[in-house]
Amino acid sequence: MLYSASELLALLIVTGGILVQAWVGIGFGLLAAPLLYLLDPAYVPGPVLMLGWGLSMLVVLKQRHRLNWRRVCPAILARLPGSWCGALLLVSLATWQLSLLFGCALLLAVWLSGRRVDLALTPSALTVAGFCSGVLGTATSVGGPPMALLYQHQPRLTTRDELAVFFLAGTPLSLLMLVLEGGTGLLALPLVLKLLPGVALGFWLSRWLELRVHKDSARPAILLISALSALGVLWQGIKAGLLG
| pLDDT value of position 204 | 92
| pLDDT value of position 222 | 63
Place 21 in a pLDDT band, splitting at 50, 70 and 90: confident
62-71 tens-digit pLDDT: 887 777 788 9
Q: Is the pLDDT of residue 84 over 60?
A: yes
| pLDDT value of position 123 | 95
Q: Are 34 and 227 in contact (CB under 8 A)?
A: no
What whole-number percentage of the chain has pLDDT above 90?
Answer: 44
CA-to-CA distance for 205 and 200, rounded, in angstroms? 9
| pLDDT value of position 6 | 95
Flag the least confident range among 47-51, 58-62, 144-148, 198-202: 144-148
Q: Is the pLDDT of residue 182 over 80?
A: no
| pLDDT value of position 154 | 82
Q: In the 8-state DSSP scheme, what is residue 70?
A: T
Over residues 113-141, mean pLDDT: 87
CA-to-CA distance for 78 and 59, rounded, in angstroms? 22
CB atoms within 10 A of CB 34: 32
What whole-number percentage of the chain has pLDDT above 70?
Answer: 93
Flag the least confident range among 23-32, 120-129, 133-142: 23-32
| pLDDT value of position 194 | 95
| pLDDT value of position 209 | 78
Q: Please compute, for residue 118, the number of CA atoms within 13 A of its CA located in the half-sphere on the CB side.
A: 0
Q: Is the pLDDT of residue 143 over 70?
A: yes
| pLDDT value of position 125 | 94
Over residues 149-164, mean pLDDT: 84
Place 229 in a pLDDT band, splitting at 50, 70 and 90: confident
Q: SS3 string of 178-230? A: HHHHHCHHHHCHHHHHHHHHHHHHHHHHHHHHCCCCCCCCCHHHHHHHHHHHH
- Supply the mean pLDDT for the chain: 87
| pLDDT value of position 214 | 60
Closest-CA residue to 101 (of 88, 116, 114, 84): 88
| pLDDT value of position 244 | 64
